Structure 1
């Protein structure tokens, strides 16, 4: 029998002796169970995890885990032991891996300043603006930073599954912390929330190219009636509709309501340089290679993903990133031909 470890000072992770019936029923697996239980407790204590957290992380019901750990589980112990052993192996394997490199904190770029100024205009004037910037230039990061530093800003992201008027209203309601289960009352509930704010609010709708035309028209309604700013953020498609579609009263109304359109289809070279610098890269050859990567589709996002992989390579050998790491990372990502 393994020696019992006293973990009494760690409330919740004491290892009580199992009852006699449990030992008798699982005599072939009891030693394995004791060893696994001890390892689970050691991991949990070192990471300050509760039993509920360990149960969640190991994909086991909390009640089942509690029974397994305390020694009164009535099912097949072998199956539970196997599941927890696999979880332990996964935790230890993850701990042995180098720390995953993190992207630089928010970098103030020229394009981010232009996006922030456009958002501020919409918020101050209760206007409707469009921001169409190419992928990988920090649109969403800038919106999140703006929301974090300005009051009454609400940021909803639209997907192909929430592109309808109702789908968009549900997303806006969640962002505005509105709990209304009657679809017919959603518009009024959102309007009432905006009205209570009393002006100076801003609704930022990200990935707006996914919206159907009626949903965009609904946003115009919020702007007209409740005097809130609206920012449609996405790719060029959201604005090209107004250029290609000249018929219809609703399009004329929408075109008239657009107070400002920020459009940028290529990254600024100074932004590429600033982002590379934020990653701490100074070697001339590496900077030149990353600059070329940043000029491809995906721009700063391409640099970010490539540097994360290159940093993992370098961390594995305990040294700084060099140009070969970036070359290998770019080749390993194999995204050159993706449109």
Structure 2
């Protein structure tokens, strides 16, 4: 016979007693307590999370909540009232900001995706270099989210060395190895192909030293792991051209594909705008956004500008217009 588990207990439904305070302050306490419960349940916050967010110590918060607090109730109520007001204000503001479209498969994103598929299927090393805001990170995340055995790890200046990179890989891949001398083998065994066509995508790869990149070659050679090195123009300068240093000779023959795009295509901007489903001034907004996309930040800048413009339009209960986009540009300190 299958047992039906009882529903989880409501951690906010606890017994309480009315604190001994003035009637008007007691009425305020009841209102704040109800508001606190509603807010916590709305966002799925636990008591400890509310404590962190409000800045009220957990012990104080809980005693205030169940009516057993022996200090000055008004002081705690004041802190919670200010916090609840700020949450309400931020929620109201967020509600006015249009949600940007999710991942958009632009032509550039499609080419990057094809390069990642190639690296994973062969396997090979591919080098992908793009300008800021072209859609590199969104494409990487979407690829690794939707495909089995594809892992994305982002490097930083502090993970540039071989050991620093291996520690970061181990953390991302949930690999535990206490012996540093065996860490690379343990990671390799975790990534071993065994017919699975695995891919290790390294974002911000320009932060890696040459020795660290050579360590990734070892994963390709010994474990059959496809490697994608993704980064900026610095990465292209090291590994993207045809005139590589003699020290890179072993890597040269293993670079199966190089992709470089420093500016978005016009078709990338069009695909992004199509996803916004604009209702008014469509062609004017499209022309303006094509100009915006040529600035540093490219598609990211277009998205942020349209979100701000959409907030203006939503506040006036009408479709977004080109005037809203120009107003958003001005308020972001930009000119076309």
Q: Say whether the 8 Å CA contact 1:199–1:228 is kept in structure 2.
A: no
Deviation at 1:239, TM superposition (A): 2.4
Deviation at 1:100, TM superposition (A): 2.4
Partner of residue 102, structure 1: 99
Alignment of 1:132-171 (within 5 A): 132-171=129-168
Q: Distance in 2 between matches of 1:66 and 1:226?
A: 54
Deviation at 1:309, TM superposition (A): 0.8
The 3-state SS of whatever aligns with 2:20 is helix
Q: Distance in 1 between matches of 2:321 and 2:283?
A: 10
Q: Distance in 2 between matches of 1:92 and 1:63?
A: 24
Alignment of 1:286-297 (within 5 A): 286-297=285-296
- Pick which of 235-244 and 166-175 moved more: 235-244
Cα gap change, 1:180/1:53 in structure 2, threshold over 3 Å: closer, same or farther? same
Q: Say whether the 8 Å CA contact 1:200–1:229 is kept in structure 2.
A: yes
> 2:34 is matched with which residue: 24, 33, 38?
38
Q: Say whether the 8 Å CA contact 1:130–1:262 is kept in structure 2.
A: yes
Partner of residue 17, structure 2: 17
Q: Say whether the 8 Å CA contact 1:199–1:227 is kept in structure 2.
A: no
- Pick which of 92-101 and 212-221 moved more: 92-101
Q: Say whether the 8 Å CA contact 1:13–1:45 is kept in structure 2.
A: no
The 3-state SS of whatever aligns with 2:192 is helix
Cα gap change, 1:259/1:141 in structure 2, threshold over 3 Å: closer, same or farther? same
The 3-state SS of whatever aligns with 1:23 is coil
Cα distance per residue 1:95-126 (max 9 Å; x no partner)? 33343222212212111111111111111112
Deviation at 1:311, TM superposition (A): 0.8
Partner of residue 111, structure 1: 108
The 3-state SS of whatever aligns with 1:315 is helix
Deviation at 1:196, TM superposition (A): 7.0
**Residue 298 in 1 paired to residue 297 in 2?**
yes
Deviation at 1:336, TM superposition (A): 5.5
> 1:89 is matched with which residue: 81, 85, 90?
85
Cα gap change, 1:207/1:12 in structure 2, threshold over 3 Å: closer, same or farther? same
Q: Distance in 1 between matches of 2:312 and 2:150?
A: 40
Deviation at 1:142, TM superposition (A): 1.2
Alignment of 1:1-339 (within 5 A): 12-14=12-14, 16-18=16-18, 23=20, 32-45=28-41, 49-97=45-93, 98-195=95-192, 199-242=196-239, 243=241, 246-249=244-247, 251-281=248-278, 283-335=282-334
Q: Distance in 1 between matches of 2:180 and 2:25?
A: 55
Q: Distance in 1 between matches of 2:33 and 2:162?
A: 52
Partner of residue 4, structure 2: none
Structure 1: which 5+ residue stretches go unaligned? Answer: 1-8
Q: Distance in 1 between matches of 2:335 and 2:156?
A: 26
Cα gap change, 1:246/1:292 in structure 2, threshold over 3 Å: closer, same or farther? closer
Size of the aligned set, in residue pairs, is 324
Q: Say whether the 8 Å CA contact 1:118–1:262 is kept in structure 2.
A: yes
- CA RMSD between the two structures: 2.8
Q: Say whether the 8 Å CA contact 2:161–2:209 is kept in structure 1.
A: yes
Q: Say whether the 8 Å CA contact 1:10–1:45 is kept in structure 2.
A: no
Q: Say whether the 8 Å CA contact 2:129–2:232 is kept in structure 1.
A: yes
Q: Distance in 1 between matches of 2:117 and 2:242?
A: 28
- Pick which of 54-63 and 27-36 moved more: 27-36
Q: Distance in 2 between matches of 1:81 and 1:224?
A: 63
